[in-house]
Amino acid sequence: MTEPTRLDALVAEFAPTLRGLLGEGRRLPRIAFTADETAAAGPHDVTLDAASLDDPAGAALRVAGLLTASESADRIVVPGAGAFVADRFVPEGRVGGRVALVTGAAQGFGLAIAEGLVAQGAFVVLADLNTALAEANAERLASDHGEGRAIAIPMDVTDEASVAAGVSAILHRFGGLDIVVSNAGVLRAASVTTQPLADFDLVTRVNYRGYFLVTKHTAPVLARQHRANPAWWGDIIEINSKSGLQGSSRNSAYAGSKFGGIGLTQSFALELVGDGIKVNAVCPGNFLDGPLWSDPQNGLFVQYLRERKVPGATTVEDVRHAYEAKVPMGRGCDPADVLEAILYLVAQQYETGQALPVTGGQVMLS
Ligand X SMILES: NC(=O)c1ccc[n+]([C@@H]2O[C@H](COP(=O)([O-])OP(=O)(O)OC[C@H]3O[C@@H](n4cnc5c(N)ncnc54)[C@H](O)[C@@H]3O)[C@@H](O)[C@H]2O)c1
Instruction: Considering only the stretches 72-80, 104-112, 165-173, 339-347, report the one whose residues sit in contact with ligand X under the rule CB under 6 A.
Output: 104-112
Q: Choosing from 211, 254, 304, 323, which is the catalytic residue?
A: 254
Query: CA 150: distance to chain centroid?
Result: 13
Interaction of residue 206 with ligand X, rule CB under 6 A: yes
Interaction of residue 123 with ligand X, rule CB under 6 A: no
Q: Which of 292, 319, 327, 341 binds ligand X (CB under 6 A)?
A: 292
Tell me how far apart the alpha carbons of residues 299 and 321 are, in angstroms, rounded to a whole number.
15
Tell me how far apart the alpha carbons of residues 33 and 28 are, in angstroms, rounded to a whole number.
16
Strands of the chain, DSSP E = 30-34, 46-47, 74-78, 82-87, 99-103, 123-128, 150-154, 179-182, 234-239, 277-284, 355-358
Supply the minimum distance, in Å, between the C-beta of residue 344 and ligand X. 17
Interaction of residue 154 with ligand X, rule CB under 6 A: no
Interaction of residue 355 with ligand X, rule CB under 6 A: no
Angle (CA) 182 186 191, round 5°: 135
Instruction: Considering only the stretches 3-11, 88-96, 179-187, 189-197, report the one whose residues sit in contact with ligand X under the rule CB under 6 A.
Output: 179-187
Query: For residues 215-254, which are near ligand X according to CB under 6 A?
Result: 239, 241
Supply the minimum distance, in Å, between the C-beta of residue 155 and ligand X. 5
Supply the minimum distance, in Å, between the C-beta of residue 20 and ligand X. 28
Interaction of residue 293 with ligand X, rule CB under 6 A: yes
Instruction: Classify strands 234-239 and 82-87 as parallel, antiparallel or unpaired.
Output: unpaired
Interaction of residue 260 with ligand X, rule CB under 6 A: no
- In the shown chain, the binding pattern of residues 155 to 174 toward ligand X, with x for contact by CB under 6 A and - for none, equals xxxx----------------
* Nearest to ligand X of 28, 292 (CB atom): 292
Tell me how far apart the alpha carbons of residues 184 and 105 are, in angstroms, rounded to a whole number.
7
DSSP per residue, 22-71: H-BTTB--EEEEES-TTTT--TT-EE--GGGGG-HHHHHHHHHHHS---S
CB 333 within 8 A of CB 285: yes
Interaction of residue 291 with ligand X, rule CB under 6 A: yes
* Nearest to ligand X of 33, 293 (CB atom): 293
* Nearest to ligand X of 1, 66 (CB atom): 1
Rounded alpha-carbon distances, angstroms, from residue 182 to 22, 26, 105, 124:
27, 21, 10, 13
DSSP per residue, 295-326: -TTT-HHHHHHHHT-STT--SHHHHHHHHHHT
Rounded alpha-carbon distances, angstroms, from residue 175 to 25, 154, 182, 206, 333:
17, 18, 19, 27, 34
Interaction of residue 261 with ligand X, rule CB under 6 A: no
Interaction of residue 106 with ligand X, rule CB under 6 A: yes
Supply the minimum distance, in Å, between the C-beta of residue 352 and ligand X. 20
Interaction of residue 342 with ligand X, rule CB under 6 A: no
Active site residue 304: no
Site size for ligand X, by CB under 6 A? Answer: 29
State the residues that interact with ligand X by CB under 6 A. 103-104, 106-110, 128-130, 155-158, 183-186, 206, 210, 239, 241, 284, 286-287, 290-293
Residues that are catalytic: 254
